[in-house]
């Protein structure tokens, strides 16, 4: 897991960061303000780190960067910042990878699905309205009251399909 960041440096999707990272960061600040929570330096920097990465990062990957920049260097520092971002819709946890990725659409309320490429480790956030609705239906049929869900697909991203063709 630790070498994800190094690998596949010119990979697929539009989460590549630098492009719209600034815009997303601004949205994130707005959202934080709207919610009345503080986007403190560690938290903000953590979000930037996620935005700059083109793959999902493990907590220890994030921690390493934070520590190198003068923030705390012990696991709780990273986990707290990451959990904060997730709680407030600024990042998502990818359970299959034990990793985190910046939300591509902060501000909107959304239920996302994640498309994880087995070849390049990229993670793309896809709109999951319909998937979510279908799941809600299936849950209702079982008398289950759905609170939230994890939807993660594994396969090959468009770029890697072309590359392997």
Partner DNA sequence: ATATCTAATGTTATACCATAACAGTCAAGG
Partner DNA sequence: CCTTGACTGTTATGGTATAACATTAGATAT
Are the C-beta atoms of 125 and 163 separated by less than 8 Å?
no
Q: How far is the CB of 58 from a second copy (least distance, A)?
A: 15
Q: Name the residue nearer to Zn ion (CB basis): 50 or 120.
A: 120
Q: Is 42 an interacting residue with respect to DNA (CB under 7 A)? A: yes
Q: Is 153 an interacting residue with respect to Zn ion (CB under 5 A)? A: no
Residues in the chain: 165
Q: Is 26 an interacting residue with respect to a second copy (CB under 8 A)? A: no
Near a second copy by CB under 8 A, which window of 29-37, 43-51, 78-86, 139-147? 139-147
Site for DNA in 52-111 (CB under 7 A): 58-60, 71-77, 79-81, 83-84, 98
What is d(CA 91, CA 22) in angstroms, rounded to the nearest whole number? 15
What is d(CA 122, CA 55) in angstroms, rounded to the nearest whole number? 5
Q: Is 134 an interacting residue with respect to a second copy (CB under 8 A)? A: yes
User: Rounded to 5 degrees, what angle do the CA atoms 41, 31, 83 make?
Assistant: 55
What is d(CA 104, CA 17) in angstroms, rounded to the nearest whole number? 9
- Interface residues with Zn ion (CB under 5 A) are 12, 103, 112, 117, 119-120, 122, 157, 160
């Amino acid at each position: 897991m630790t070498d994800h960041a190094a690998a596949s440096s010119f990979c697929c999707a539009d989460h590549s960061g630098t492009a719209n990272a600034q815009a997303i960061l601004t949205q994130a600040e707005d959202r934080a303000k709207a919610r009345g929570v503080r986007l403190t330096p560690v938290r903000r920097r953590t979000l930037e780190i996620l935005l700059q990465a083109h793959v999902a990062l493990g907590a220890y990957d994030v921690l390493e960067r934070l520590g190198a920049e003068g923030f705390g260097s012990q696991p709780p520092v990273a986990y707290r910042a990451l959990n904060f971002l997730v709680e407030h819709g600024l990042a998502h946890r990818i359970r299959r990878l034990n990793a985190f990725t910046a939300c591509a659409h902060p501000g909107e309320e959304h239920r996302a699905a994640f498309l994880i490429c087995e070849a390049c480790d990229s993670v793309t956030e896809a709109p999951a309205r319909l998937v979510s609705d279908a799941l809600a239906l299936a849950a209702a049929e079982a008398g289950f009251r759905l609170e939230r869900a994890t939807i993660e697909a594994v396969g090959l991203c468009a770029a890697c399909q072309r590359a392997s063709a």
